[in-house]
Structure 1
Amino acid sequence: MTPPVRVGVIGLGAIGQSLLKAFMADPEVHVTAVCDVNASLAETTASPLAASAWTDHRQMLDAADLDLVYVAVPPRYHHTIALDVVAAGRHILCEKPLALTLDEARDMRRAAQAAGVIHALNLPMHADPGIETFRRLVQDGGLGTLRRAELTLVFPQWPRGWQRNPWIGGREQGGPIREVGPHLLHVVLTTLGPVKRVWVHAEYPADDTAACETAALGTLELTNGSLVVVSCLTNVPRPEQVSLTVYGSRGTAGLVNWASPVAASGQAPLEAVPVEGPRVPAGEQLVRALISRVCGGPGDLADFTTGVRIQAVLEAWEHSSVTGRWVDVPQVEPT
């Protein structure tokens, strides 16, 4: 029998705990070590797993036998910890966004590629069959000439009730565009093409300069000339909405509730589109692909190059929100 892949988890907040469950459920995985600055949380998490508990990730990397490390700390710490993981020769899965800045993201990609380790970004929607169905609807020509796309993010409260922590509501690391945006930006980039430049108007609380945006309206101009209008609104008495709609000269295709495809021909109403293939929990699908790659098999992953491309758009978005001007997005080479 093939020995299980030994996994370490750094960061045991809400997101880290969620994917930890997917690792625990995989029979090919043994969660060997966990790490968090909260010693009590680390010990409580480690005990039922028979794993070692750490508060210093460097000590964990030095002492624990690990094949793969999942970095689930706040974005400010991704760069430093990821470089330590890669330097230790471990394969790595990192939370999104990949880093705080484009320079940091590029640095992380260079290091991972030079080390020859598997590097992946936690974008659970990456290989979702609903996304693949939407992508085929857009790219098979049935919509006619693509006219425009609209990305809508609405949250009745931010931070969301299950995700309250010291950083998610801050401008430096958090906010809906940084936190939720990467999932849908990835769909835009892989379905419609690269972003050439960005224009943004963002609203922030007048009494708290450290707080994240409460609303934003922006435009992504793609390299093919198409426009994606982005509307983000928080703290309104409406249900959560995460949707992407693409309008063509003959039809319309979209995603509702994050990853459920819909479509219409002509002026007909949008209707649900059947999804081909089984749908499994996103975390389970990601872990399967990741473990397969670590073991030398196939696996469709969003890697650090994907993370750098998303980071380039996020950084241009942030600059435009400050200047109120169009900001060019650096194009990212695949190597």
Structure 2
Amino acid sequence: MTSSIRVGVIGLGAIGQNLLKAFTAHPEVRVTAVCDIDVSLAERTAQPLAASAWTDHRRMLDETDLDLVYVAVPPKYHHAIALDVIAAGRHILCEKPLALTLDEARDLQRAAQARGVVHALNLPLHGDPGIQTFHHLVQGGELGTLRRTELTLVFPQWPRGWQQNPWIGGREQGGPIREVGPHLLHVILTTLGPVARVWAHTEYPANDPDACEIAALGTLELENGSLVVVSCLTNVPRPEQVSLTVYGLAGTAGLVNWARPVAAQGQAPPEPVPVEGEQGAAGTRLVRALVGRVRGGSGDLVDFTMGVRIQAVLEAWEQSSATGTWVDVFRA
């Protein structure tokens, strides 16, 4: 009988709890340890799982037999905690963005590769059938020469109602560009190609130096010369919008509501495109892929190299916002 994959979870906030359900639902996975600085939360989460509860992740790593560790803490803690996980020889899944800075992200990439552990980033759009359909629409040639891409992010409230925590609305770690941006940057990088340089302008609240952005405009220049125009706006009286539109000489393809593909030929309005493939939950896909890779088989994961590529764009965006100039993107 194949033994279960023993999983530890560090960070038990909303995101960590969500993926915890996918881990516990997989028949080959056993969550054996959970860790959070809130001892009550750790104990409440551990009890129904028959898992051990910890407030010190180093002790958990030292004293618990684990195969895979999921790091679901806020971004500023990714670097230190993930390095401890990797040094302990555990396979690792990390929340996005990979780190707070590009240097930290590169540290994690190099450490994971050197240690030979499975390393993955949690990007739920990866493997989504709608995203795959969009990729085929763009790459299939029916749009003709690509002219421009537009990424639109609108949030009536930031932080969103389900995401109220001390850091998500802060300038140091949070904000929609850093929090939502990695999902769509991954789609852009895998569908359209690498980003060469970035220009960005960011607006912050006038009376709160610690608050994250309330609006942003920017342009990503791809290595093939085409442009992605980015518009982000928060705290406006309209529904949430996360959309990506690619304009070609012959047609248009896009994503609406994060992952629903639409397309049009000529001057016709965009219409929904049928999606083929399994419509399973993102967490289920991710855990299935992790199990496959940890067991030495196949599994389609976003690894830390892509995490570095995403981080490079985010860092160039922040540098451009600060300097008002175009900033070249580090090529991972």
**Under TM normalisation by the shorter chain, which class is it?**
over 0.9
Alpha-carbon RMSD across the aligned residues, in angstroms, is: 0.5
The equivalent of 1:30 in structure 2 is 30
The equivalent of 1:158 in structure 2 is 158
In structure 1, distance between residues paired with 2:151 and 2:215 = 13
The equivalent of 1:129 in structure 2 is 129
**1:71 pairs with 2:75:** no
The residue identity in structure 2 corresponding to 1:306 is M
For 1:165, what is the secondary structure of its paired residue? coil
The equivalent of 1:82 in structure 2 is 82
The residue identity in structure 2 corresponding to 1:215 is A
In structure 1, distance between residues paired with 2:181 and 2:291 = 26
Measure how far apart 1:276 and its partner are: 1.2
**1:295 pairs with 2:256:** no
In structure 2, distance between residues paired with 1:199 and 1:217 = 9
The equivalent of 2:213 in structure 1 is 213
Q: Which moved more, 1:275-284 or 1:301-310?
A: 275-284
The equivalent of 1:175 in structure 2 is 175
Give the structure-2-normalised TM-score. 0.99
For 2:285, what is the secondary structure of its paired residue? helix
**1:331 pairs with 2:331:** yes
Measure how far apart 1:127 and its partner are: 1.0
The residue identity in structure 2 corresponding to 1:259 is A
In structure 2, distance between residues paired with 1:287 and 1:244 = 27
Measure how far apart 1:49 and its partner are: 0.2
For 1:206, what is the secondary structure of its paired residue? coil
For 1:242, what is the secondary structure of its paired residue? strand
Gaps of 5+ in 2: none
The equivalent of 1:321 in structure 2 is 321
In structure 2, distance between residues paired with 1:161 and 1:325 = 34
The equivalent of 2:275 in structure 1 is 275
In structure 2, distance between residues paired with 1:273 and 1:292 = 31
The equivalent of 2:265 in structure 1 is 265
Measure how far apart 1:88 and its partner are: 0.4
Measure how far apart 1:26 and its partner are: 0.7
In structure 2, distance between residues paired with 1:168 and 1:146 = 35
In structure 2, distance between residues paired with 1:163 and 1:6 = 28
In structure 2, distance between residues paired with 1:124 and 1:316 = 24
The residue identity in structure 2 corresponding to 1:309 is R
Measure how far apart 1:98 and its partner are: 0.2
The residue identity in structure 2 corresponding to 1:227 is L
The equivalent of 2:247 in structure 1 is 247
The residue identity in structure 2 corresponding to 1:56 is D
Measure how far apart 1:297 and its partner are: 1.4
Measure how far apart 1:226 and its partner are: 0.2
Structure 1 vs Structure 2: percent identity of aligned residues?
Answer: 81
For 1:76, what is the secondary structure of its paired residue? helix
In structure 2, distance between residues paired with 1:164 and 1:22 = 22
**1:112 pairs with 2:107:** no
Measure how far apart 1:245 and its partner are: 0.3
For 2:73, what is the secondary structure of its paired residue? coil
The equivalent of 2:44 in structure 1 is 44
Query: Could you list the per-position Cα deviations for residues 129-157 of structure 1 after superposition, in whole angstroms to 9, with x for gaps in the alignment?
Result: 11111001001110000000000000000
The equivalent of 1:190 in structure 2 is 190
Query: Could you list the per-position Cα deviations for residues 105-136 of structure 1 after superposition, in whole angstroms to 9, with x for gaps in the alignment?
Result: 00000000000000000011111111111001
For 2:183, what is the secondary structure of its paired residue? helix
In structure 2, distance between residues paired with 1:327 and 1:96 = 22
The equivalent of 1:101 in structure 2 is 101
**1:58 pairs with 2:58:** yes
In structure 2, distance between residues paired with 1:241 and 1:185 = 16
For 1:255, what is the secondary structure of its paired residue? strand
In structure 1, distance between residues paired with 2:286 and 2:321 = 33
Measure how far apart 1:324 and its partner are: 1.1
**How many residue pairs align between the two structures?**
332
In structure 2, distance between residues paired with 1:293 and 1:128 = 19
Query: Could you list the per-position Cα deviations for residues 160-210 of structure 1 after superposition, in whole angstroms to 9, with x for gaps in the alignment?
Result: 000010000011100000000000000000000100110111100011111
The residue identity in structure 2 corresponding to 1:2 is T
Gaps of 5+ in 1: none
